[in-house]
Amino acid sequence: MIVAFDNTFLSLALNPNTKPTPNPATGTPVDLCALRVEALIDELGARGDTILIPTPCLAEMLCAVPDFEAAISEIYETAAFNPAPFDARCAIELADASRKAKAAGDKRSGIAASWNEIKFDRQIAAIAKVGRASVFYTDDNNQTKFAKLLGLEVKHTWDLYLPDKYRQISLIEECDD
């Protein structure tokens, strides 16, 4: 299976300073959010799945990490990660989606963001679709809308399961056994 990560998921995986996005249903971030993303990466990697990293997301994340070289090394040493560029096929997909939005009378697809943000987010979704991702992982509302418009299934950090092996066992629980 091929999936794609946007900057929110990539940052949670590689930047310890990343603050999780609040779950819109509760208004609070998911607890152990970075561990949930780590567990997802481990699960996908163990199955031999591919995690596409659209290069605009990679650039955005690399601008914010405290250790630039370590983040780059992690990307290239993690077998599941596959940086995916914006190429001619992506440009065609992006143009098609933009033309459809304009023909429908809403070139912004209902997004109240700057035109540059919209174009950037559409590029990322186009890379995921052209890369044959079946699931797009993001906590960004705009990115969610664009990915769904392109027919991708979208999952968020608040959708992720945390296996017990990633939770720390309380010392009190350990002593009670």
Q: pLDDT value at position 176?
A: 46
Give the integer Cα–Cα distance in Å for 86 and 131.
10
Render each residue's pLDDT in the chain as its tens digit; 177 residues.
999 999 999 999 998 889 999 999 999 988 899 899 999 999 999 999 999 999 999 999 999 899 999 999 999 999 999 999 999 999 999 899 889 888 888 777 777 677 778 888 889 999 999 999 999 999 998 899 889 989 999 999 999 988 888 876 544 444 444
Q: Among all chains, which residue has been given the structure tokens 């559409």?
A: 122
Helix (H, G, I), strand (E, B) or coil at 153: strand
Q: pLDDT value at position 169?
A: 52
Q: pLDDT value at position 112?
A: 66
Please give the full DSSP string across 99-136, using - where no structure is assigned. Answer: HHHHHTT-TTTT--S-HHHHHHHHHHHHHHHHTT-SEE
Q: pLDDT value at position 163?
A: 87
Nearest CA among 166, 159, 144, 140 for reference residue 42? 166
Structural domains of the chain sorted by starting position, each given as residue range(s) with its CATH number in brackets: 2-167 (3.40.50.1010)
Strand partners, 136: 4, 154
Give the integer Cα–Cα distance in Å for 62 and 11.
9
- Residues ≥6 apart with Cβ < 8 Å to 80: 41, 44, 45, 49, 50, 51
Given a contact cutoff of 8 angstroms between Cβ atoms, the answer to whether 128 and 85 are in contact is no
Q: How far is CA 23 from CA 5, 33, 88, 106, 157, in A?
A: 18, 11, 35, 28, 8
Q: What is the mean pLDDT of the chain?
A: 88
Q: Side by side, which strands form the sheet with 81-84? A: 81-84, 50-54, 2-5, 135-137, 153-155
Model confidence pLDDT, tens digit, residues 96-136? 988 988 888 877 777 767 777 888 888 999 999 999 999 99
Given a contact cutoff of 8 angstroms between Cβ atoms, the answer to whether 39 and 32 are in contact is no
Give the integer Cα–Cα distance in Å for 126 and 136.
11
